[in-house]
Amino acid sequence: MIRIDASIPRAQETAQLFDDPLGFLARARAALGDVFVIREEKALLSRAADCAGVIAVFGAANHQAVLTDAELFRQPISAAQHISLPQTLINLNRGLHSMQGAQHDQHQRLLMNVLSDRSNEGRRELVQTGLEQFVTGWKYDQQIFLLAEMRRLMLALSTRLLFGEQYDESAQLATLAEQYFHARRAVASTFKAPDKGTRAKLISLGTSLDSGLRRYIHWSRKATGDGLLGTLTSLETLSDDELVAHSNVLFMSSLEPTAVTLTWAILILSQLPDLRRSLREDQSQLDGVINETLRLLTPNALMTRLTTRPTPLSSFPVPANCEILISPFLAHREPERFPRPNEFLPERWQGLKPSPFVYFPFGGGAHYCAGRSLATYMIKTSLAFLLQRFDPVLAFDQEIDWKIDIVLLPVNDPVMSLRRPESTPVVGGKLIGPVRELIKLKS
């Protein structure tokens, strides 16, 4: 067993890591500096066997070193591989995340081209119709569960954008992909091996999804499907297995982080009536609102990598097979980079362009998010549309807690009331509790 060098500072009271991971990391960082050991001899998030332990790493130069060299700091293997699921299910997760080297770079170029701003522009009408249809189900003064509704909205938009409107089975395929995503997440977020029933359900969903995606690819090759995945299918450089994997990973990636970001943005705005009104008149402030939401409540709160060989970080000797933990959540609150770091200040983004290793809600370096343009487009268009038609406020005072379950998300789903937009916006229920403690708001 490789031991972590004694010169690297050790965090104390590591039990707190599980109760309050972000608070624990912030306190340990303040006491110990940019590099410290959280755990010896055992992985935390990656399931790596024979892991030397876990080291937390801070500071833009360290973030850059870890995120840029994807061969030295590799992505952990997927849960599907770890629990030895059948090959079909392992293939479903073989998207860009799990690729390396020249193959990764070639596929990254292809995917980024398909998911570019140019592609989004051509799909403006499709998104607009999707939003119009979605809100036909919303009435003034109705109460909604915010995260559940944002998941439903992102499912509707992603289905149109990725599978297109011409494929008859788009909706069923999308629902199946979503079910598989939630079943897989339930397995991935616990370190226990799944019981027989859970495993059988996951295999059944994954096998159906694989067949469904293959039928879609077959149809799309013949019909030149109108969705983004149709464009990918027409490229002819990708095998069926590769197309299945990319389709699944892109579809899944387009759902949860976008739904969660919209949820956080609307929850914050529910506390800021003047800003809601001013956004209705001047949408140019939306970029600042989205950047600030992604700064303070970044879905990607923690990231992890595994060292493939010994390497120095801040001149400490880090061994091979060591889990490296990076926290964009805390990086985004560095007071030297973001003065008054805990305050929600959309106006701070006027003219601000932080380095991609200081502010990185979409990751940075080699595995930088391939869907960033699509994500910002979906979030911005949806937020603008919903705020024009509704004034969302908390239905009553609510204590909202948070958790990290792959992404940072609310534990209890905020209940919103959909008010009619008036010139004097309504002051709704107050946000209280743990989420409120993560952000300072001008009321």
Residues that bind ligand HEM (CB under 6 A): 95-97, 108, 115, 249-250, 253-254, 257-258, 261, 299-300, 303, 361-363, 367, 369-371, 374-375
Question: With respect to ligand HEM, which residue has the nearer C-beta, 8 or 306?
Answer: 306
- Smallest distance from ligand HEM to CB 10, Å: 26
- Smallest distance from ligand HEM to CB 189, Å: 16
Q: In b/e form, how buried is each residue of 203-234, taking b as 16+ CB within 10 angstroms?
A: bebbeebbebbeebbebbeeeebbbbbbbbbe
DSSP string for residues in 74-123: EPPPPHHHHTT--HHHHHHT-SGGG--HHHHHHHHHHHHHHTSHHHHHTT
Question: With respect to ligand HEM, which residue has the nearer C-beta, 370 or 383?
Answer: 370
Residues 316 and 10 sit within 8 Å (Cβ to Cβ): no
Token digits of residue 281 = 């008149």
Question: With respect to ligand HEM, which residue has the nearer C-beta, 68 or 208?
Answer: 68
- Smallest distance from ligand HEM to CB 98, Å: 8
Greatest CA separation for the chain? 66
- Smallest distance from ligand HEM to CB 19, Å: 24
Question: With respect to ligand HEM, which residue has the nearer C-beta, 40 or 105?
Answer: 105
* Amino acid at residue number 292: E
- Smallest distance from ligand HEM to CB 365, Å: 7
Question: With respect to ligand HEM, which residue has the nearer C-beta, 418 or 435?
Answer: 435
- Smallest distance from ligand HEM to CB 323, Å: 13
Question: With respect to ligand HEM, which residue has the nearer C-beta, 349 or 398?
Answer: 349
Characterize the bridge pairing of strands 398-399 and 35-40.
unpaired
Indicate the residue whose CB is closest to ligand HEM: 371
Residues 404 and 262 sit within 8 Å (Cβ to Cβ): no
Question: With respect to ligand HEM, which residue has the nearer C-beta, 173 or 375?
Answer: 375
Distance, in Å, from the CA atom of 56 to the CA atom of 64, rounded to the nearest integer, reads 14
- Smallest distance from ligand HEM to CB 92, Å: 14
Residues 194 and 205 sit within 8 Å (Cβ to Cβ): no
DSSP string for residues in 3-40: ---TTS-B-S-TTHHHH-HHHHHHHHHHHH-SEEEEEE
- Smallest distance from ligand HEM to CB 374, Å: 5
Give the closest residue to 119 by CA, choosing from 110, 129, 106. Answer: 110
Question: With respect to ligand HEM, which residue has the nearer C-beta, 130 or 194?
Answer: 130
**Cβ-based neighbour number of residue 139 at 10 Å:** 10
Q: Helix, strand or coil for residue 364? A: coil
